[in-house]
Amino acid sequence: AQREGKKTSSDLILRISQLDALELDSALEQLLWTQLSQCFQNCRPGLLTPLEPELKSLLQLLLWRFTLYSSSTTVGQSLLSLRYHNILSSSTRYRPLSRRQKLSLVVLTAGARWLQERSHSLLPCFGLNAGQGLRNCLTLVSSIAQLAGLINFLVFLRKGHHPLLAERFVGARAVFSKPNVVRDVTYQHMNRELLWHGFSEFLIFLLPLINTRKLKATVSSVVLGGEGTDGGGAMEGQEVFKECGLCGEWPTMPHTVGCQHVFCYYCIKSYSIAESYLTCPKCGAEARQPELVRMEVEMKMM
């Protein structure tokens, strides 16, 4: 019964938790590499390119030394309350990975990645014929490894254990580091993202339907007050005819759209082309097609 209970507790680990742990480990490696690259950003471009595989392997070895080698868990696993269990042990209790398993795990991950990235520069050192044979051999081995990795991942989706082929080889399986651990996932960030995306899509759909110029003119008229009809209003009207309602300069070929405001011909023409529903950009009144200012209006401007 105890053995069954142990087996059941380990089977409860979600597949997404194990995949998230791998993604967190990969993100940490990328973050360290970015920080290292920024240290040499003022140096000659391409300075780290010849040594990039070795430097990445060195970073992976440092992470392995201070995480997996010390506590049988990676950074991603520790964040999700997971750790590696030695399934080669006959004991039903938790057993950490042995030193040989830890070393084999880093060789099969970091070592294989380094060999794949460095193989193209190492093969020419063996001569033309030998290099061609080694290249074909490495291609065959790489294809077999990728096919085995695909099969292992399909088995992982079915069984829920060993997302990496290296874990299956060395006998390492992820288990909970604490009893009765429940995956604590907060969806607040996801909810905010979904809410913001929905709101932004709503604005993208709604904003083209709103005449912002007319709304702005209406708000301005309400806040600043309407234009009077007394003598002062007449004087103000005379001042309006001395400047374009769009560019603010002396109107060139003055045109009107039905209200007391005057615009340059090119200003109001371009505005009418851009706006499907033409309104006066100053007062927001419904406008007709631009018309040349009549003679009596021109006399007012004199």
Domain positions in the chain are: 2-180, 211-301
| Residue-level pLDDT, tens digit, the chain, 302 residues | 334 344 444 446 888 889 999 999 999 999 999 998 888 888 888 888 888 888 999 999 999 999 999 888 999 998 888 999 999 887 778 888 999 999 999 999 988 888 888 877 766 666 556 667 777 888 888 889 899 999 999 999 998 889 999 999 999 999 888 766 555 556 676 777 788 888 888 888 887 777 676 677 677 667 765 444 444 444 444 555 677 877 878 777 888 877 777 888 888 887 777 666 677 767 767 667 777 776 444 444 44
Q: Which amino acid is at 194?
A: L
Note the pTM of the prediction, 2 decimals. 0.54
Backbone angles phi, psi at 105, to 5 degrees: -65, -45
Contact 77, 83 (CB under 8 A): yes
Backbone angles phi, psi at 30, to 5 degrees: -65, -35
Taking the CA atoms of 238, 244, 249 and 255 in sequence, report the sign of the dihedral they define: negative
The CATH class for the domain spanning 211-301 reads: alpha beta
Residues contacting 221, CB < 8 A, separation 6+? 283, 284
Taking the CA atoms of 35, 41, 43 and 47 in sequence, report the sign of the dihedral they define: positive
